[in-house]
Amino acid sequence: MADETHFEEDTMSVADRLAAEALIVDVDGYEGPLDLLLTLSRTQKVDLRKISVLQLARQYLAFVEKAKALRLELAADYLVMAAWLAFLKSRLLLPPDPSEEGPSGEELAAHLAFQLERLQAMRDAAARLMARDQLGRDFFARGQSEMVTRVRKVTYSATLLDLMQGYARIRTRDDFRPFVMDRDAVFTMEQALDRMRGLIGYAGDWTDILSYLPEGWETDPVRRRSATAATFAASLELVKEGHLDIRQSDAFAPIQLRKRDESRDGRD
Amino acid sequence: MRAVTEEIEDKEESLFEAPPMAEQERMIEAILFATVEPITVRELEARMPHGCDPAEALVYLRKRYEGRGVQIMKVGDAWAIRTAADLGFLMQKETVETRKLSRAAIETLAIIAYHQPVTRAEIEEIRGVSVSRGTVDQLLELEWIRFGRRKMTPGRPVTFVVTQSFLDHFGLENARDLPGLKELRAAGLLENRPPIGVIPGPESEDEEESAEGQSELFED
Amino acid sequence: MRAVTEEIEDKEESLFEAPPMAEQERMIEAILFATVEPITVRELEARMPHGCDPAEALVYLRKRYEGRGVQIMKVGDAWAIRTAADLGFLMQKETVETRKLSRAAIETLAIIAYHQPVTRAEIEEIRGVSVSRGTVDQLLELEWIRFGRRKMTPGRPVTFVVTQSFLDHFGLENARDLPGLKELRAAGLLENRPPIGVIPGPESEDEEESAEGQSELFED
């Protein structure tokens, strides 16, 4: 007997919990706080125009409390609405402060009621719209069109959607351009090597490395930097290969190059 | 002088020769039967011999088909023949399975139809949630909505309106024939009442983007 | 014995309930209109409520359409609605073949619409490829673009603008009603990213065209 009572109590609490959880889990089913408010307002069983916003605010806050108790994470906009409704509740309960600016509690409540009524009206309208006879379901268009003689004339068509997508494609190309080096401002070491090999034959005496920069690369800072680096790297390569001598008298002093003269070897 | 009047004469001649109304009715009947898409009076006029009055002939033709198995239907400023809705049960074979619209899409469609021209922000204000991309995309793809003219409000937002295909699909002559439109208007539910004070609205995912906007696009 | 007669009884019952001939006529009218293929009497019978006599109804329906713009015709052993032979001349426009504009043309058109008045050089700068002569020609021929006034820059290049026909075709009141980038994104139109590896640059389809160029077009 005692066991049975115990069992009964247990089932009750489980059922309660399930009910409470079902309610909460449904939060996901709501499309935002306004939708939830609309659902809650139905429990008042009155015309939406005569709804008690104060009561609704209490219901909503209770709902949010319950969700918190069950440690359910509510999306931020539900909490924002809760805070606002708490504020509205206090405005509706306290006598109006004449010095306070902005809309009164009644005005805010009236607008909320209007929003709910309007949302409900749009839902009803949507339902009526979808309940209408629909083309391809209840009534039908012509099934055959072979009765036309074939006179070929080509016209071109495009929809606004095509046009917009085309434009979007161009305008956002840069957004998803994969990373590539902008080659037009890069002077490669290979290019510098090619150039230097052709020039070093004339470099009998010490010459500033900067005079080897390719034409058109001396003024723009980005191009100049790239060309300088490439020319310097190429020079080192040529030194390594034994075609050039390179020297720098001091830190940050000009770097100078000259052709390596076999006959000069050992004397300098 | 002759050269100048030639064109006028041509016109008069063809006016004179306009086929009798019964014949015009036949022509429209043939054209409408052959065409799947609704066709405007202007297009009819262009296809029929000079001097025809398709608008008048359509009145007769429509009457002729009253109560028949197919109907002459007005779709916006165009016309089409469609089977009578009460015979839909015979057509199961012709039914095309269409993609089910989400509840959000249906509501968004209704809001656009009843409030058009309406901006995205207004739709969001009414629904209390932000409109997802897929929703608008889907409705555009179905060609049930299109972009309308810009609103003369700050930012000049684009608006959405319903299309002729929408009217055709739901068997509406006109967007004014939407069910319950008058009642909703009378009840003030189609007014564009801006939110007052600080009622929280949907968070706009695009808020940061609004600075970018399209001012840059239309600068000149 | 009972089991055997059950079916016969059923049939008799539904025969009794068969819709009136006028209603059967309506049904056939709707079916003939909506079916994709001509339909046989047997198929009609299968579709219509029990007890209907499509063969008889067809006789009446055929009579009803005598001399009209469309006719009930026998095609082999099946039935279909066809335009009256003498009205075939009205059907010519029906056969206009529509083709999608090329991507190059759409992009060029879009740039003109969004940036008008715009010179050819500006279009090329935005698209990143040269604009082929054929593309511009096609858009001019479609009467979607026209020459605007010359730019007051060196060379006084001509500009392009969109036409009223363009606005009509795309259902716009004004080129300014075109949605901006932000709105395109909101509508989900900017989500299709090109596959990785597609490096923007001159498209191959246009590359060969670029040599030809359209300088001749603009010479004057």
Residue A182 buriedness (CB in 10 A; 0-12 / 13-18 / 19+): exposed
For C179-195, how does the pLDDT look when each residue is reduced to its tens digit (9 = 90+)?
776 777 666 665 444 33
Mutate to test the interface with B, among A53, A100, A118, A159 (most CBs of B within 10 A): A118
Chain B CB contacts of C174 below 8 Å: 149-150
DSSP C78: E
In angstroms, the CA B72 to CA B64 distance is 9
Given this model, what pLDDT does residue B133 score?
A: 79
In angstroms, the CA C150 to CA C117 distance is 9
In angstroms, the CA B202 to CA C168 distance is 35
Mutate to test the interface with B, among C21, C25, C33, C178 (most CBs of B within 10 A): C33
Q: Would you say C40 and C75 are in contact if contact means Cβ atoms under 8 Å apart?
A: no
Mean pLDDT in chain A?
76
Residue that has been written with the tokens 């010519």 in this structure: C92
Contact C176 B70 (CB under 8 A): no
What are chain C's partners, defined as 3 or more CB pairs within 8 angstroms? A, B
Does residue A242 carry a pLDDT above 50?
Answer: yes
What domains sit in chain C, N to C, each tagged with a CATH number? Answer: 2-86 (1.10.10.10), 103-214 (1.10.10.10)
C-alpha distance from A254 to closest chain B C-alpha (Å)? 48
C202-210: average pLDDT: 36
Collapsed DSSP state (helix, strand, coil) of residue A64: helix
Split at pLDDT 50, 70, 90, the class of A180 is very low
Better-scored residue on pLDDT, C115 or B109: B109
**Closest to B180 measured CA to CA, from A109, C123, A128:** A128
In angstroms, the CA C50 to CA C31 distance is 16
Closest CB to C90: pick one of B31, B94, B217.
B31
Q: Would you say B151 and B159 are in contact if contact means Cβ atoms under 8 Å apart?
A: yes
**Closest to A237 measured CA to CA, from A207, A268, A184, A194:** A194
Give the pTM.
0.58
Chain B CB contacts of A34 below 8 Å: 127-129
Given this model, what pLDDT does residue B220 score?
A: 37
Better-scored residue on pLDDT, B45 or A164: B45
Better-scored residue on pLDDT, C150 or A172: C150
Q: Which residues of chain B have pLDDT under 70?
A: 1-16, 93-99, 197-198, 203-220
C-alpha distance from B151 to closest chain C C-alpha (Å)? 9
Does residue C198 carry a pLDDT above 70?
Answer: no
Pairing assessment for the beta strands C145-147 and C159-162 based on DSSP bridges:
antiparallel
Q: Which residues contact A232 (CB under 8 A, 6 or more apart)?
A: A209, A255
Q: Would you say C161 and C116 are in contact if contact means Cβ atoms under 8 Å apart?
A: yes
> What is the share, in percent, of chain C residues with pLDDT greater than 90?
23
Given this model, what pLDDT does residue B62 score?
A: 95
Split at pLDDT 50, 70, 90, the class of A21 is low
C8-28: average pLDDT: 73
Collapsed DSSP state (helix, strand, coil) of residue B57: helix
- Alpha carbon C42 to its chain centroid, in Å, reads 34
Residue B93 buriedness (CB in 10 A; 0-12 / 13-18 / 19+): middle
C-alpha distance from B83 to closest chain C C-alpha (Å)? 5
In angstroms, the CA C147 to CA C162 distance is 9
C71-97: average pLDDT: 78
For B47-79, how does the pLDDT look when each residue is reduced to its tens digit (9 = 90+)?
899 889 999 999 999 999 999 999 999 998 899
Collapsed DSSP state (helix, strand, coil) of residue C137: helix
Is A204 an interface residue toward B (CB < 8 Å)? no
Is B83 an interface residue toward C (CB < 8 Å)? yes
C17-35: average pLDDT: 91
Residue A217 structure tokens: 């690369």
Chain A CB contacts of B94 below 8 Å: 136, 140, 143
C-alpha distance from B5 to closest chain A C-alpha (Å)? 33
Better-scored residue on pLDDT, A235 or A15: A235
Pairing assessment for the beta strands A153-157 and C96-100 based on DSSP bridges:
parallel
Residue in chain A lying closest to B169 (CA): A135
For A61-112, how does the pLDDT look when each residue is reduced to its tens digit (9 = 90+)?
988 888 777 767 777 888 888 888 988 888 888 877 777 777 788 888 888 9
Better-scored residue on pLDDT, C14 or A91: A91
Taking one residue from B and the other from C, the number of pairs with CB-CB distance under 8 angstroms is 128
Q: Would you say C38 and C78 are in contact if contact means Cβ atoms under 8 Å apart?
A: yes
**Closest to C74 measured CA to CA, from C44, C94, C53:** C44
Better-scored residue on pLDDT, C41 or A150: C41
C-alpha distance from C37 to closest chain A C-alpha (Å)? 7
Q: Would you say B78 and B40 are in contact if contact means Cβ atoms under 8 Å apart?
A: yes
Interface of B with C in 152-181 (CB under 8 A): 156-158, 163
Is A181 an interface residue toward B (CB < 8 Å)? no
Given this model, what pLDDT does residue B172 score?
A: 92
Half-sphere exposure of A174 (CA within 13 A, CB side): 4
Q: Would you say C117 and C160 are in contact if contact means Cβ atoms under 8 Å apart?
A: yes
Interface of A with B in 143-172 (CB under 8 A): 143, 145, 147-148, 159-161
Q: What residue type is assigned to position B58 of the chain?
A: L
In angstroms, the CA A208 to CA A253 distance is 10
**Closest to C137 measured CA to CA, from C168, C167, C174, C102:** C102
Given this model, what pLDDT does residue C27 score?
A: 94
Q: What residue type is assigned to position B142 of the chain?
A: L
Q: Would you say B120 and B160 are in contact if contact means Cβ atoms under 8 Å apart?
A: yes
Chain C CB contacts of A163 below 8 Å: 106, 109-110, 113, 170, 178
Split at pLDDT 50, 70, 90, the class of A204 is confident
Given this model, what pLDDT does residue C93 score?
A: 54
Better-scored residue on pLDDT, A71 or C100: C100
Residue A74 structure tokens: 């509510």
Does residue A14 carry a pLDDT above 80?
Answer: no
Of A53-57, A217-221, B133-137, minimum mean pLDDT range: A217-221
Split at pLDDT 50, 70, 90, the class of A4 is very low
Residues C16, C20, C23, C28: is their CA dihedral positive or negative?
A: positive
DSSP B129: S
DSSP A135: B
What ipTM describes this predicted complex?
Answer: 0.62
Q: Tell me how far apart the terminal alpha carbons of chain B are, to the nearest angstrom.
A: 49
Better-scored residue on pLDDT, B120 or A2: B120
Collapsed DSSP state (helix, strand, coil) of residue A27: helix
- Alpha carbon A265 to its chain centroid, in Å, reads 66
Does residue A169 carry a pLDDT above 80?
Answer: no
Does residue C71 carry a pLDDT above 70?
Answer: yes
In angstroms, the CA B59 to CA B45 distance is 15
Contact C189 B157 (CB under 8 A): no
Contact C33 A154 (CB under 8 A): no
Residue in chain A lying closest to C109 (CA): A163
Could you count the other beta carbons within 10 Å of the beta carbon of residue B135? 23
Contact B133 C87 (CB under 8 A): no
Is B70 an interface residue toward C (CB < 8 Å)? yes
Split at pLDDT 50, 70, 90, the class of C160 is very high
